[in-house]
Amino acid sequence: MNFELTEEQNLLRDSVRRMMDDIATADYIREHDEQGLYPYEVYDQWVEMGLLGLPFPEEFGGYDGNVLDMVIVGEELGRKGYDFLGAYALSVFNALNILRHGSEAQKKQYIPQVINGDIRMSISMTEPDAGSDAGNMRTTAVREGDDWVISGQKLFSTAADAKNNVINLYCKTDTTVPYQKGISLFMVPYDTPGVEIRRLKTLGRRMLGTNEIFFNNVRISDEMRIGEVNEGWDCMLSGLLLERVVTTAGYAGNAQTVVDQALAYAKERKQFGKPIGNFQAIAHMLADMQTKVDASRMLMLRAASKMAKGEKALREVSQAKLFGSETFAEVANMGMQIMGGYSYMMEFDMQRHYRDARSTTITAGTSQMQRNLIANTMGLKVK
C-alpha cells in the first residue's frame, strides 16, 4: 500500500493551497459567511488556474485528472471551509454528468463554458416529500412540441441563485411509472422565466446558501435535456460515488483546519499558569481529534484509490462518507469545547466550522442512508 503522493500530485496540492491562502483570507470568509455572499472572487481564481477543467478530457479544454487529483483538490478547498468545495463540486460534478450522458453538441457547448467560468452549475433533486427517498419526487416536465414545460417545487438546492448558474434538474417525465423510473435530467438556466428561487435561512453553509425553487410552467427546449428521456435516475447514480468521495475529501480538509485551529489555541491559551494544551484532558481531546481526522482521510483515500483503479467501491465510499462527516461534526464540537466561550462568538471561526459541519451528516446522503448502504453490501437486507 502506498500512501505517498506523486510529485505531480504534490505540486497540485501546493499550488491549490497557496492560491487559497492568498485569496480566501479569514476576513474574506467571515464576511461572506456573515452576509451570505457567494465567493465569486475565489471561484474566478479557480477558473484562472484551470481547476474547473481538472477531470475533463483535453479535447474540451480539460486536464484529464483522475479521482485522486479530485480528492486532493477537494481536501484543499475544504481546508478553508467546506462550502468552498461545494461551489467547486457543483459545477464540476454536473458538467461531468454532461460528459457521461450528454450529446456531442452539449459536451462541446457546455463543458468549455464551465471550464472557462462563463456558467456554473447546481443540482436540484430534493423535494418537500422526497429527501432520502429521492425517487418519490413529484415535479414534472411535460413534452410540448420541441419543448418541455416544468412545474413543481424543489427544496434544499445549494447555490441555485449564483449568477450565470444552470440548474441541473431531476424531475418526472413519466408519472405513470412508479418511483425511480420516469425521471429525466434537464438543464434550466437560473434566470429562465417561471423559475423562482428563494434563499432559506440555515444554520450554516451560508456563503453558497440553500434554496427553495418553484418551477411555474417553465418552458425549456428539448436540447436542454441530458441523457435519454426517463433515464435520469441512472444519470444521477452514475456520478454518485465520485461526488461522495470528493465531498468526503472536503470534510477531511475542513476537519483538519478545525484541529489545527484548536491546537494553536490550546498552545497559546493559558489558564492556571500554563497552556491549556498541557492539561492531559485537553491534550487527549486533541489526540483523539487528530487520530479521527487521519482515519477519515485514510478511509477516503482508500475509496478514491479503489475507484482510480476502476474497482467497485460502494462500501468504501459509504464508509468514508459516514465516518468523515461524523468525524467532522465531532471534532468541530470538540474544537468548540477547547476554545471555550470564545468559540461561541461570531468573530471567531470555530462556531462557523461547527455550523457548517452540522450539515454534513444530513446532505449528500444522510448518515442513516450510508449505514443502510454499508449494511446492504454486507449481505443484509435493511428495512
Partner 1 sequence: MFSFKLDDELESFRHEVRSLAEKEFAPRAAYWDEHEEYPEANKNLLAELGYLGMLVPEAYGGSGLSLIHGVVFLEELARVCFNTALVGQLYLNGPAKALAELGTEEQKQRILPGVVKGDYLIAISISEPGAGSAVTDLSTNIRKEGDDYILNGTKCFTTAGIEATHSMVFARFGDSKGARGIGAVLVEKGMEGFTTGKPERKMGGCGVKEAELHFDNVRIPKENIIVEATPYSNEGFKRLMSSFGPERVGNAGMCVGISQGAYETALAYSETRKQFGRPIAEFQGIQWKIADMATQLHAARLMVYRAATNLKNGFPDPHDCAMAKLYSNEMAQRITNEALQIHGHYGYCRDYPLERMVRDARGFSLGGGTPEILRNTIAAQCYGRTFNQRRS
Shortest Cβ 263–partner 1 spacing (Å): 17
Instruction: Based on the shown chain and the rule CB under 8 A, indicate whether residue 175 belongs to the binding site for partner 1.
Output: no
Per CB under 8 A, the list member of 345, 353, 378, 381 interacting with partner 1 is: 345
Instruction: Based on the shown chain and the rule CB under 8 A, indicate whether residue 123 belongs to the binding site for partner 1.
Output: no
The span of 4-12, 84-92, 130-138, 258-266 binding partner 1 (CB under 8 A) equals: 130-138
For partner 1 (CB under 8 A), the number of binding residues is 45
Instruction: Based on the shown chain and the rule CB under 8 A, indicate whether residue 351 belongs to the binding site for partner 1.
Output: yes
Shortest Cβ 328–partner 1 spacing (Å): 13
Per CB under 8 A, the list member of 271, 287, 291, 380 interacting with partner 1 is: 271
Q: State phi, psi for 213 to the nearest 5 degrees.
A: -125, 130
Q: Which is nearer to partner 1, 103 or 271 (CB)?
A: 271
Shortest Cβ 182–partner 1 spacing (Å): 17
Q: Which is nearer to partner 1, 66 or 366 (CB)?
A: 366
Q: Which of residues 363-382 bind partner 1 (CB under 8 A)?
A: 363, 366-368, 371
Angle ∠(78,81,83) on CA atoms, nearest 5: 90
Q: Which of residues 54-113 bind partner 1 (CB under 8 A)?
A: none
Q: How far apart are the first and last CA of the chain?
A: 36
Distance, CA of 380 to CA of 61 (rounded, Å): 44
Per CB under 8 A, the list member of 28, 40, 355, 376 interacting with partner 1 is: 355
Set of cell numbers at residue 197: 428561487
Q: Which is nearer to partner 1, 51 or 357 (CB)?
A: 357
Distance, CA of 274 to CA of 268 (rounded, Å): 9
Shortest Cβ 81–partner 1 spacing (Å): 16
What number of CA atoms fall less than 13 Å from residue 95's CA on the CB side?
31
Distance, CA of 156 to CA of 381 (rounded, Å): 29
Per CB under 8 A, the list member of 7, 35, 105, 201 interacting with partner 1 is: 201
Set of cell numbers at residue 71: 480528492
Among the listed residues 21, 98, 17, the one whose alpha carbon sits nearest the alpha carbon of residue 56: 98
Among the listed residues 325, 311, 323, the one whose alpha carbon sits nearest the alpha carbon of residue 358: 325
Q: Which is nearer to partner 1, 40 or 214 (CB)?
A: 214
Distance, CA of 357 to CA of 155 (rounded, Å): 20
Among the listed residues 238, 211, 239, the one whose alpha carbon sits nearest the alpha carbon of residue 93: 239
Per CB under 8 A, the list member of 66, 202, 230, 238 interacting with partner 1 is: 202
- DSSP summary character for residue 127: B
Per CB under 8 A, the list member of 11, 26, 177, 200 interacting with partner 1 is: 200
Going by their DSSP bridges, the two strands 165-172 and 120-124 should be labelled as parallel
b/e string for 326-365 if b means 16 or more Cβ within 10 A? bbbbbbbbbbbebbeeebeeeebbbbbbbbbbbbbbebbb
Number of neighbours of residue 137 by Cβ within 10 angstroms: 24
Per CB under 8 A, the list member of 143, 163, 219, 270 interacting with partner 1 is: 270
Shortest Cβ 234–partner 1 spacing (Å): 20
Shortest Cβ 120–partner 1 spacing (Å): 22
Set of cell numbers at residue 7: 510529485
Instruction: Based on the shown chain and the rule CB under 8 A, indicate whether residue 281 belongs to the binding site for partner 1.
Output: yes
Q: Which of residues 303-342 bind partner 1 (CB under 8 A)?
A: 329, 333, 336-337, 340-341
Binding site for partner 1 (CB under 8 A): 126, 129, 131-133, 136, 155-156, 200-204, 210, 270-274, 279, 281-282, 329, 333, 336-337, 340-341, 343-347, 351, 354-355, 358-359, 361-363, 366-368, 371
